[in-house]
């Protein structure tokens, strides 16, 4: 796919983005969910080989095509790996799926109710390599735990600053300021994030667009102004710990927002499944998430 084709698909394509970017400390948990216990590997290399096998199985499934999965977010090792003898980005291109890469290197300790992204001194080199491999965009995550405006404003500013660096490298960033769905002040976090992100986006120089990956808001439709913001290409939602049925119900309440689910996409897949069982389970999950991304429910005003 050419860059213009990928822009059009992400901006207006019907479907959702698969998050296949578990890394580091989250990999053992992802493998356990897949039915592979921690004792099944003896080194980090073996662990990452197992998770790559899982991702390869997903990407090559007949259910995983650009008809319903318009994009996929990869971990750096997955981007650098191969699927059926092809570089992973090329394998995705061949299936009509637009590739993104997770670029953040983890989170700082909590301060002012948030966890900022750790420094990324090698980001320019990573972006250059990603562009050369045919990647379209990036994703970078930080986390909001409580309704502290100073902390949330700092998150918004950091996300936009990294986004501008990504745009400068010719890639499209997904800014992900996640609100912890277990936060006692979650609704207030949503509102402050809306205000601070709107401020930071409006102040961005130039006219390039970014994407947003947000937690599903307590109040359906709260993020409509971000969906409509002139500097936003698309808004996607993380499942944030919801099981797939609940995540899909909440997603369907939010106009213009499509899924970018990880656990909610993969939760029923197991290593021991036959190929037919695996493909059927993945197809069912994709269909459910696709429907919630494309068929929206009217929500009565409170």
Instruction: Give yes or no for a contact between 96 and 66, defined as CB atoms under 8 angstroms apart.
Output: yes
Secondary structure class of 70 (helix, strand, coil): strand
Query: If we measure between CA atoms, which residue out of 8, 56, 68, 16 comes closest to residue 283?
Result: 68
Which pLDDT score, from 0 to 100, does residue 29 have? 85
- Asked if residue 207 has pLDDT above 70, the reply is yes
Checking if the pLDDT of 139 tops 60, the result is yes
CATH of the domain at 195: 3.20.20.70
- Pairing label, strands 16-20, 172-179: unpaired
DSSP reduced 3-state for 43: coil
In a domain, 300, yes or no: no
Is position 218 within any domain? yes
Detail the DSSP E strand segments found in the chain.
16-20, 69-74, 82-83, 86-87, 98-102, 114-115, 137-144, 172-179, 210-215, 232-238, 257-259
Whether residue 199 is contained in a domain is answered as yes
Q: Is residue 301 part of a domain?
A: no
241 or 96, higher pLDDT = 96
Residue 211 has pLDDT above 70, yes or no: yes
Active-site residue, from 9, 102, 213, 250: 213
pLDDT of residue 241: 84
Task: For residue 19, list its beta bridge partners.
Answer: 73
- Residue 213 annotated among the catalytic residues of the structure: yes
| Domain count along the chain | 1
What pLDDT digit, counting tens, does each position of 91-109 carry? 999 999 999 999 999 999 9
The pLDDT value recorded for residue 176 is: 98
Query: Which among 176, 178, 250, 288 is annotated as catalytic?
Result: 176
Residue 38 has pLDDT above 90, yes or no: no
Output the pLDDT for position 39: 85
Tell whether the model's pLDDT for residue 24 goes beyond 80: no
- Residue 65 belongs to domain spanning: 3-294
Please tell me the predicted confidence (pLDDT) of residue 301. 53
Q: Decide if pLDDT at 302 tops 70.
A: no
28 or 269, greater pLDDT = 269
CB 252 within 8 A of CB 295: yes
- Best CA proximity match to 68, nearest among 281, 243, 286: 286
The reply to whether 288 belongs to the active site is no
**Reported confidence tier of residue 261, pLDDT bands at 50, 70, 90:** very high
| 287 part of a folded domain | yes
131 lies in some domain: yes
Task: Look over the chain and give the mean of its residue pLDDT values, rounded to a whole number.
Answer: 95
Residue 19 falls within a domain, yes or no?
yes
Exposed, middle or buried by CB within 10 Å (0-12, 13-18, 19+), for 175?
Answer: buried
pLDDT digits (tens, 9 = 90+) for 75-92: 999 999 999 999 999 999
Domain presence at residue 299: no
Q: What is the pLDDT of residues 61-79, one digit of tens each?
A: 999 999 999 999 999 999 9
Is the pLDDT at 199 greater than 60, yes or no?
A: yes
pLDDT of residue 161: 97
Cα–Cα distance for residue pair 282/277, rounded to 1 Å: 9
* pLDDT of 22 above 90: no
């Amino acid at each position: 796919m050419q860059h213009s084709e990928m822009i059009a698909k992400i901006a207006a394509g019907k479907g959702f983005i698969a998050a296949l970017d578990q890394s580091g400390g989250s990999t053992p948990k992802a493998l356990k969910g897949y039915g592979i216990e921690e004792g099944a590997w003896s080194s980090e290399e073996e662990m990452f080989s197992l998770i790559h096998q899982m991702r390869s199985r997903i990407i090559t499934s007949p259910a995983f095509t650009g008809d319903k999965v318009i994009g996929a977010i990869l971990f750096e090792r997955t981007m650098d790996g191969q699927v059926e003898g092809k570089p992973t980005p090329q394998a995705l291109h061949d299936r009509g799926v637009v590739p993104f890469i997770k670029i953040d290197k983890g989170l700082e300790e909590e301060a002012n109710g948030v966890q900022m992204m750790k420094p990324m001194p090698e980001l320019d080199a990573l972006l250059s390599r990603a562009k050369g491999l045919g990647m379209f965009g990036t994703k970078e995550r930080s986390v909001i735990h409580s309704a502290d405006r100073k902390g949330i404003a700092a998150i918004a500013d950091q996300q936009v600053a990294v986004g501008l660096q990504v745009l400068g490298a010719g890639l499209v960033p997904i800014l992900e300021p996640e609100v912890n769905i277990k936060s006692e002040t979650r609704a207030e976090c949503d509102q402050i994030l809306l205000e601070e992100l709107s401020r930071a986006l409006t102040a961005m120089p130039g006219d390039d667009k970014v994407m947003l990956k947000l937690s599903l808001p307590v109040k359906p439709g709260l993020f409509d102004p971000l969906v409509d913001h002139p500097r936003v290409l698309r808004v996607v939602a993380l499942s944030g710990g919801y099981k797939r049925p609940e995540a899909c119900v909440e997603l369907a309440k939010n106009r213009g927002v499509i899924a970018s689910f990880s656990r909610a996409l993969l939760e029923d897949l197991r290593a021991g499944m036959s190929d037919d069982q695996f493909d059927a389970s993945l197809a069912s999950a994709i269909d459910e998430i696709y429907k919630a991304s494309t068929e929206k429910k009217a929500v009565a005003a409170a």
